[in-house]
């Protein structure tokens, strides 16, 4: 890949192998999210209804994932540990690809290392639960790279796939509309819709079988994500932690939307695409009805956009970045919070996401340009 020397490639492969050796045993021992979703793929294989009720905590992944996990469900019939190993390896591969691709945007590995540290606990939590945020991250970074190269159709494919896998990356489709990238938008909508509806074709062609299954998923997801309050790490979680009314949470969400819209309307610099994708992805996590801590792995583009800039920041920006980094890394959640800071401790990642978004919005400005002077 461009930007990687043979030495870089060897180092990245070695680091990936070591990390896989650490996270695979953890995932085999835990891995509850993956095990839970495998039951849906098994029901799909048996032709049983998928979306009758939500799991005990949270909601089901979107319909496309039930089909995508079928190979792992087949392996799990023989060995659940082998299926978990394969899934963990896929996530490690996606993380390694993301780091390799990010190297093309940086002059050194240092910004990437700091970025990984800034999302350390969310990333590790993903492998404990065997979720899929590294897969989403790879798709989003791939989309940013293709948008930067004006390959809008291919970028739309990646964003559409991410939307079909998890749902909330659909906010990136709105970003494409705001930027007038119509080809990417049309492709993304078609891919997201096609994968979602196509995954349910075993239940019969639309407008009855497949469409009914998708509508059932939307219905129970609404019940689980909106009508039930969870203490998750997004703005709706404030209603759980602090008892805030929905109107206050909605006002906060609208303020975040307005701030990102303001940032997108400012003059663009050369790294505008990565700033934009980082801000919109982080916004999608913050306004998602349910966002567990491993969702903040997706703060990776936002962090990298800020850290790879050659121009130094003002002292107050550096201080704000330090605060945001401490929060999104999760380092204080290892029993380091004093009890009187419970209001920061409980929604730790939400506060970190808000701090990071604020810095990202304020830092989104063009690089200074030299103006030719008349002789």
Mapped onto helix, strand or coil, the DSSP state of residue 369 is coil
- For the chain, how far is it from start to end, CA to CA, in angstroms? 45
Residue 17 has what pLDDT?
A: 94
> Can you tell me the mean pLDDT for 189-194?
96
pLDDT digits (tens, 9 = 90+) for 205-217: 877 788 998 998 8
User: What integer pLDDT is reported at residue 1 of this predicted model?
Assistant: 55
pLDDT band (50, 70, 90) for residue 267: low
Residue 358 is predicted with a pLDDT of 92
pLDDT score of 25: 94
Percent of the chain with pLDDT over 90: 63
pLDDT of residue 226: 63
340-366, pLDDT tens digit by residue? Answer: 999 999 999 999 999 999 999 888 755
**Res 107 pLDDT > 80:** no
Residue 123 has pLDDT above 60, yes or no: yes
The percentage of the chain sitting over the pLDDT mark of 70, rounded to a whole number, equals 92
Question: What pLDDT sits at residue 374?
Answer: 44
Q: Where does the pLDDT of residue 371 fall: very low under 50, low under 70, confident under 90, or very high at 90 and above? A: very low
Helix (H, G, I), strand (E, B) or coil at 78: helix
Residue 339 lies in a domain: yes
**pLDDT level of residue 56 (50, 70, 90 thresholds):** confident
- The reply to whether 270 falls in a domain is yes
Looking at every residue in the chain, the average pLDDT score rounds to 89
What does the pLDDT average to over 89-113? 90
Q: What is the predicted pLDDT for the residue at 222?
A: 79
Pair of tokens at residue 320: 């704000």
Q: What is the pLDDT of residue 269?
A: 57
- Domain assignment present for residue 1? The answer is no
Segment 96-110 shows an average pLDDT of 88
For residue 368, being part of any structural domain is answered with no
Question: Is the pLDDT at 31 greater than 80, yes or no?
Answer: yes
Give the pLDDT of residue 369: 41
**Alpha carbons 15 and 13: distance in angstroms, whole number:** 5
Name the residue with higher pLDDT: 78 or 228.
78
> Residue 161 domain-assigned?
yes
Tell me the residue range of the domain where 304 lies.
Answer: 6-363
pLDDT in tens, 137-181: 999 999 999 998 899 999 999 999 999 999 899 999 999 999 989
Q: Average pLDDT for residues 289-315, to the nearest whole number? A: 87
Domain membership of residue 375 (yes or no) is no
Say if residue 128's pLDDT is above 90: yes
Distance CA 141, CA 102 (A): 8
**pLDDT (0 to 100) of residue 4:** 78
Mean pLDDT of 130-136: 95
Answer whether residue 374 is part of any domain. no
Residue 342: its pLDDT value, please?
Answer: 93
pLDDT of residue 370: 36
What does the alpha-carbon distance between residue 228 and residue 226 come to, in Å, rounded to a whole number?
5
Question: What is the Cα–Cα distance from 16 to 101, expressed in whole angstroms?
Answer: 14
Residue 225 has a pLDDT of: 67
Classify residue 370: in a domain, yes or no.
no
Query: Could you give the number of structural domains in the chain?
Result: 1
Task: With a cut of 60, say whether residue 373 has pLDDT above it.
Answer: no
């Amino acid at each position: 890949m461009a930007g990687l020397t043979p030495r870089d490639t060897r180092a990245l492969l070695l680091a990936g192998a070591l990390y896989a050796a650490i996270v695979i045993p953890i995932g085999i021992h835990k891995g509850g999210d993956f095990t839970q979703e495998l039951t849906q793929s098994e029901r799909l294989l048996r032709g049983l209804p998928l979306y009758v009720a939500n799991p005990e905590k949270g909601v089901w992944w979107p319909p496309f994932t039930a089909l995508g996990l079928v190979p792992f469900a087949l392996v799990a019939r023989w060995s659940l540990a082998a299926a978990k190993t394969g899934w963990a390896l896929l996530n490690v591969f996606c993380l390694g690809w993301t780091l390799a691709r990010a190297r093309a945007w940086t002059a050194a590995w240092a910004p990437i290392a700091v970025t990984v540290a800034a999302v350390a606990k969310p990333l590790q939590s993903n492998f404990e639960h065997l979720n899929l945020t590294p897969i989403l991250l790879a798709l989003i970074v791939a989309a940013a790279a293709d948008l930067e190269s004006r390959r809008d159709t291919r970028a739309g494919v990646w964003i559409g796939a991410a939307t079909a896998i998890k749902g909330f990356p659909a906010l990136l489709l709105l970003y494409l509309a705001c930027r007038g990238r119509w080809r990417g938008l049309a492709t993304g909508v078609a891919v997201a819709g096609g994968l979602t509806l196509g995954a349910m074709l075993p239940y019969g062609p639309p407008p009855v079988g497949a469409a009914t299954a998708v509508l059932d998923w939307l219905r129970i997801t609404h019940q689980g994500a909106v009508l039930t309050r969870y203490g998750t790490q997004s703005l709706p979680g404030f209603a759980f932690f602090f008892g805030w009314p929905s109107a206050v949470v909605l006002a906060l969400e609208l303020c975040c939307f307005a701030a990102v819209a303001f940032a997108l309307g400012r003059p663009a610099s050369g790294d505008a695409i990565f700033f934009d994708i980082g801000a919109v992805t982080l916004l999608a996590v913050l306004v998602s009805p349910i966002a567990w801590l491993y969702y903040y792995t997706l703060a990776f583009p936002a962090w990298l956009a800020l850290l790879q800039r050659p121009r130094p920041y003002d002292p107050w920006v550096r201080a704000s970045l330090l605060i945001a980094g401490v929060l999104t890394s999760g380092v204080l959640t290892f029993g380091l919070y004093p009890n009187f800071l419970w209001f920061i401790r409980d929604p730790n990642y939400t506060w970190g996401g808000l701090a990071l978004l604020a810095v990202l919005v304020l830092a989104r400005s063009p690089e200074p340009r030299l103006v030719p002077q008349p002789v």
